[in-house]
Amino acid sequence: MKAYWYDNKPGDQRLPHDSTRPVTESYLATLGVIYHHLPSLADVDALAAARGYKNRDEITVSPTTMGDAYETKVKSFFHEHLHEDEEIRYIRDGRGYFDVRGQEDEWVRIQLEKDDLIILPAGIYHRFTVDEGDYIKAMRLFQEEPKWTPLNRSEELDENPHRVGYLGSLGKAAVAAV
């Protein structure tokens, strides 16, 4: 895992957009973002049991697996959104980026590759893209029945109870990370 401030320069979303200003794992923790490097499925199983993740599936994002829908799908993943559940992704192969909003509403880019697992809290604004390799295979873990409903950012969404709850947790997460 590598995390850094997104450079906000124009260009393909799949490019690194690395500002060369690193972001620490402890800063990610203040945002409620949890990272683990898990080199085996047994490690994933143990984390899933400890956190109550009961369901899982796998997705491969690539031109080969998605065909003509690939470019449209990759662009849709990059729309800023939130979920009302945690988003848990374990990278089985390939590489990609999760961008999350920092405490000042700026983008933090998190590069993930094989054996990286990330947990994004419910209510955090984020987006996803593959890197220039146009390939990632990820396991998605769920606490309940699998669902993945992105809610695109809007002023009305700022009143969503999951968003409000997330914002309320930011001060607590900052204290816990110290």
Task: Output the known binding site.
Answer: 81, 83, 87, 126
CA angle 82, 87, 89 (to 5 degrees): 135
DSSP β-ladder status, 116-120 and 34-37: antiparallel
3-state secondary structure of 74: helix
Per the annotation, where are the binding residues for Ni(2+)?
A: 81, 83, 87, 126
Sign of the CA dihedral with 16 first, then 20, 21, and 24 last? positive
CB atoms within 10 A of CB 78: 16
Which residues belong to the annotated binding site for Fe(2+)?
A: 81, 83, 87, 126
